[in-house]
Amino acid sequence: MTTTVTMPKGRFADIGRLRVHYHRAGPESDSGPVLVLLHGWPEFAGAWKKVLPVLADRYDTIAPDLRGFGQTQALTEEGRAPADAAAFADDLKLFVDALGIDKIGIVAHDVGGAVAQAFARAHPGRVFGLFLFNGMYPGIGKRLGAAEHLPETWYQYFHRLDMAEELVGYNRDTVRIYIRHFLKHWAKDPAAFDSEIEAWTDNFMRPGNLIGGFNWYRATADMRMQLIRDGAPKMEKITTPTRVLWGRDDPVLKSAWVEGLEDYFADVEIDVVDGVAHFVHFEAPDLANREILKFFGRIETR
């Protein structure tokens, strides 16, 4: 399978509080299977450039910029407010409603994975499958605040400070230095994003995009502290068929944390992938595309 690196032209959909920017390709249908790709931080919809065009050979495939990211624009004060996973999931519902889509499969990474889980819990009848790359889930619990892991999570606390946007956004160079750090440190191959640094810098130079991403960490701060204090909560299992592909060498979302996933997903298949770290979909796109297509092809026949 040849990796494609060209995204289709962006479109916009108004959902009341937001004007959502998204890319869409494939056999568009209001009745056939639709896959929605949800990015993480520090990302935007362009992070799926090696995935969306390949999936679109078989599926109607849509990659939106989440609230505060990319070219999605706030239209109201509510749309500018920091959003947790539940609020992002509500954005997603309004978005697919606006496109006239009833049921979706979700492919998600990092922040997007938390949004996907919140959507599946709130609207189980509207999602037919979840494919999750390295991401947060409640079962991580106290491991999130383990002493040996705290040096990796410094940015989550820094993003909550009022000065964070001013410091990082001082000029283009400071934005590039900051975003480049994570793209290099969280990838197995530090050069994996070298050709993308300027595009990522362009994205986070857009007005509001630094604070938009930082707002995720502000909105979810209490949830993170509760996990660290109280440990993994007991919750009803997500019943949607789920596939998890986790990079073994991820320094920030540890692959060892897959232990416990079965307590939160009733129907889950899990693999840890060698030779990649945080960005499996970007670091190993041929593997990612193959596994996504295999998973959704399988559950379609159920």
Residue 38, C-beta contacts closer than 8 angstroms, at least 6 positions apart:
64, 66, 92, 106, 107, 108, 109, 111, 112, 113, 115, 116
Closest CA relative to residue 51, chosen from 295, 292, 301: 292
**Within a 10 A sphere around the Cβ of 50, how many other Cβ atoms?**
20
- Return the half-sphere exposure (C-beta side, CA atoms, 13 A cut-off) of residue 294: 10
Return the residue matching tokens 């160079």.
173
How many residues in the chain?
A: 302
What are the distances in angstroms from CA 195 to CA 146, 169, 192, 198, 263? Answer: 34, 21, 8, 8, 40
Give the H or E element holding residue 283. helix 280-283
Distance CA 226, CA 300 (A): 37
Inter-residue long-range contacts of 114-118, CB under 8 Å, 24+ positions, other chains counted:
114/85, 114/88, 114/220, 115/38, 115/66, 115/85, 115/88, 115/89, 116/38, 117/85, 117/238, 117/264, 118/85, 118/86, 118/88, 118/89
**Is 204 within 8 Å of 42 (Cβ atoms)?**
yes
Among all residues, which ones are annotated catalytic?
Answer: 110, 217, 278
CA 163 → CA 179, 210, 220, distances in Å?
A: 17, 12, 18
Number of H helices, E strands in the chain: 12, 9
